[in-house]
Structure formats: structure tokens, C-alpha cells
Structure 1
Amino acid sequence: MNYKNGRDVLPPRLFKELQKYIPGELIYIPKRTDQKSSWGELSGTRKLLADRNEEIYRLFSNGWTITDLEHKYHLSGESIRKIIVKTR
């Protein structure tokens, strides 16, 4: 999340009105509900994890052991098993 100075982004009248209620404090203004994205969509994390999980499944299918995958991806055996079952 990026912080913006209200003086730089708000109309002067609105800025002065907000100063009456929260002078010198931080305020969080959430996105409108029609603008929400799913987790990881904007940053690309969702796709990176999906690609990683596909690779884990492919390597497992090609004979890699759970232990091999644990070391390569720094995940627990249980996490690797969940990925494999979910990806099938």
C-alpha cells in the first residue's frame, strides 16, 4: 500500500474538512467494492504460485520424491502433498 499526502491528492476544500476530524493522523480509504481484485492478481503472485505448483506436480510425475521437492522449493512435505493432490 502506498501512502499519499492528502494535500497532493485531495481538493483543498475536502482536505481542510478532513483536517477537522483527523488532524495529523493516517486514514485508510478502501477501494470501492466494484474495483476489488482477487488476492494476488494485481501483483502477479497468484500466477507465480500457480506456475510453481504446476512445476511441482510435473516434477513429481517425472519421478522426483517429496523430499527432493521439499529441498528445491523450501516447503514442508505436507505442503508438497497438498499441491500434488490439488493439481491432479
Structure 2
Amino acid sequence: MKYMNAKKVLPEKLIVEIQKYVQGETIYIPKPEAEYQKWGASSGGRQLLDLRNATIRNAFTSGSSIQQLSEEYYLSIESIKKIVYSHKK
């Protein structure tokens, strides 16, 4: 998050109105909820995790043990259990 000087981006009337509530403080103005993205949506991280988890579920269904999957994917046994017993398909 970068700092912006209000005088450079906001009209004077709006600055005067905001000064009625806040003066000399840093405020955060969030973007509209319609522009929010879920974690990993823009980087592709979410898709990679979904693919990894699907691969783990398939391996479990094909006979791999939770212990084997834990060692192969460097995840705890509890994490593997959460993945293989979740209802995502």
C-alpha cells in the first residue's frame, strides 16, 4: 500500500469535507467489494493448490496411504487428512 497526497488526487471540496472528520492522519480507503479477489486468484497460487489437492485425493483413492502422501508432499498427516476427507471434487 503506497501513500498518496490527497491534494494531488482529490478535489478541494472533498478534502475540506474529509477534514471535518480527519486531519493530519493517514486513512485507508478500501476498494469496492466488487473488485475484491480471493487469495491467489491473480498469482495462480489458488489453482496450483487446487491441482495439488486433487492429485493427493486421486492418489489416496488409488491406494496411497496418508503416511505416504504426507512424506511425498511434505505435509503433516493432519493436513493430508483434511485434503482427502474434504468434499471438494
Q: TM-score range by the shorter chain?
A: 0.5 to 0.7
Aligned residues: 86
Alpha-carbon distance in structure 1 between the residues aligned to 2:76 and 2:2: 36
Given the two structures, how large is their TM-score scaled by the length of structure 2?
0.64
Identity between Structure 1 and Structure 2 (%): 35
Given the two structures, how large is their TM-score scaled by the length of structure 1?
0.64
Higher relative contact order (CA 8 A, sep 6+): 1
* Cα RMSD (Å): 3.1
1:75 paired to 2:42: no
- Answer with 1 or 2: which has the greater Rg: 2
Q: Give unpaired runs (5+ residues) of structure 2.
A: none
Amino acid at match of 1:50: D
Q: How big is the shift at 1:72?
A: 2.3
Greater fraction helix: 1
